[in-house]
Amino acid sequence: MSLPSPKSTVVFREVPEGAILFCTATETYFSLNAVGVQVWRLLHPTCVSIDQVVERLSAEHPDATADVLRSDIAELLRALLESGLVELPKAA
C-alpha cells in the first residue's frame, strides 16, 4: 500500500492528549493519540511506504513488534482514508 498524504483541506492541531484533525471541506473531526501524531507526521512525502513508518516507529517503540505496528498503522490509515482526511498519491 502506498502511503497517503494529508489533504490540503485538513487542519492539524496538537493537544496534550495527541492531536485533532479537522477537514474544512467536510467538517469532519478526527482525534489522534500520541502514536497517531507520529504516524501523521511520517505520511507522504516524509515516508513513502508503511515499511518506512514501521522502521521509524520501531526505533522509538522497541516493545512493539513490527507486525503489531504494521497492523495498527494500516488500521489508522484505513480510518483516515474513510474519513476523507488523506489521499493516495496519484498514479504517474
The C-alpha atoms of residue 29 and residue 10 are separated, in whole angstroms, by 9
Q: Is residue 92 part of a domain?
A: no
- pLDDT value at position 20? 98
Total structural domains within the chain: 1
Which range marks the domain in which residue 30 is found? Answer: 5-83
Q: Is residue 89 part of a domain?
A: no
The C-alpha atoms of residue 53 and residue 84 are separated, in whole angstroms, by 21
Q: Tell me the CATH number at 44.
A: 1.10.10
pTM of the prediction? 0.92
Give the contacts of 75 (CB within 8 A, at least 6 positions apart).
none
HSE-up (13 A, CA, CB side) for residue 23: 16
Which residues of the chain fall short of a pLDDT of 50? none
Give the contacts of 82 (CB within 8 A, at least 6 positions apart).
none
Q: Is residue 64 part of a domain?
A: yes
Q: Is residue 88 part of a domain?
A: no
